Amino acid sequence: MVRLGQNFLADPNLLDAIVRDAGLAPEDVVLEVGAGEGVLTERLAAAAAHVHSVEIDRDLEPALAAVAALPNVSLHWGDAMQVDLAAFEPPPTAMVANLPYAVATPLILRTIEQLPSLRTWNVMVQREIADRLRAGPGGRIYGAPSVVAQLACEVELVRKVDPAVFKPRPRVDSAILGLRRTGPAADEATRELVRGAFAHRRKTLARSLELVRPGSLGPARAALRELGLPEDARAEALSPEEFAKLSAKLQADG
């Protein structure tokens, strides 16, 4: 049974491992996206002070009745990309979830940006997404999501996951991705800079920015030069820290 692109976890050992890997404290408030049939929700409720669980599929309401009745579980119906996560009380401190793969990347980035109370993430994602978000400069899978995530968090692969633990078995490899917040989310100007820099990967960073924001070619080249970076550098050559410095420089000169 697949509902709205979600594959349900069927291995109790892995479910226990996910909660254990999350390292939850008794006072933690957990955000779970994709409640599914509630098997992970139930375990999270036993380990944390409160669980906010978001589910879009109302057909799952009967299966979730038992966990919804738990005193420390708040079940929120809706699309996690549209729900006002920042309005949840108490504010989430940890995200633990088997994420719907279609929205995993934008959802992780949204929670980094909009939920400053979140300190850790322990989430099941497609292996490709895990590799992309933790990729370092220079590789073909290093991109804007990698930079934006790593500007605020340390990102690591916690464990690979056998497709056999899902029902039904997915056609892609999966992994548990761990993030630990190290600082605030990148500001809007920096996020726009990063997206623009990677918008045209075949071109230099400055040229790509010019295509997105006409008039930025000269300032971008000058800022790169003043930071000791090549004027013709491509976006994938800059580390997240160098993007932060470039953004600060452009804003200061702006």
DSSP-derived secondary structure letter, 30: E
Non-local CB neighbours of 87 within 8 Å, separated by 6+ positions: none
Name residue 213's amino acid. Answer: R
**Among the four given CATH numbers 3.40.50.10140, 1.10.3720.10, 1.10.8.100, 1.10.8.60, the one describing domain 188-253:** 1.10.8.100
Report helix, strand or coil for 105: helix
Distances (CA, A) of 251 to 80, 188, 234: 32, 11, 20
Where do the domains of the chain lie? 8-181, 188-253
Rounded Cα distance between 199 and 209, Å, is: 8
* pTM of full prediction above 0.95: no
Comparing C-alpha atoms, which of 118, 75, 78 is closest to residue 96? Answer: 118
The fourth-level CATH superfamily of domain 8-181 is Vaccinia Virus protein VP39 (3.40.50.150)
Query: One digit per residue, pLDDT tens: the chain, 254 residues?
Result: 334 455 677 788 899 999 999 999 999 999 999 999 999 999 999 999 999 999 999 999 999 999 999 999 999 999 999 999 999 999 999 999 999 888 999 999 999 999 999 999 999 999 999 999 999 999 999 999 999 999 999 999 999 998 877 777 777 889 999 999 999 999 999 999 999 999 999 999 999 999 999 999 999 999 999 999 999 999 999 999 999 999 999 999 87
Region of 4 on the Ramachandran plot (φ > 0 left; ψ -120 to 50 alpha; else beta): left
DSSP annotation string for 156-195: EEEEEE-GGGEESPPSS-EEEEEEEE-SPPPPHHHHHHHH
Asked if 8-181 and 188-253 have one fold, the answer is no
Helix (H) or strand (E) holding 12: helix 12-22
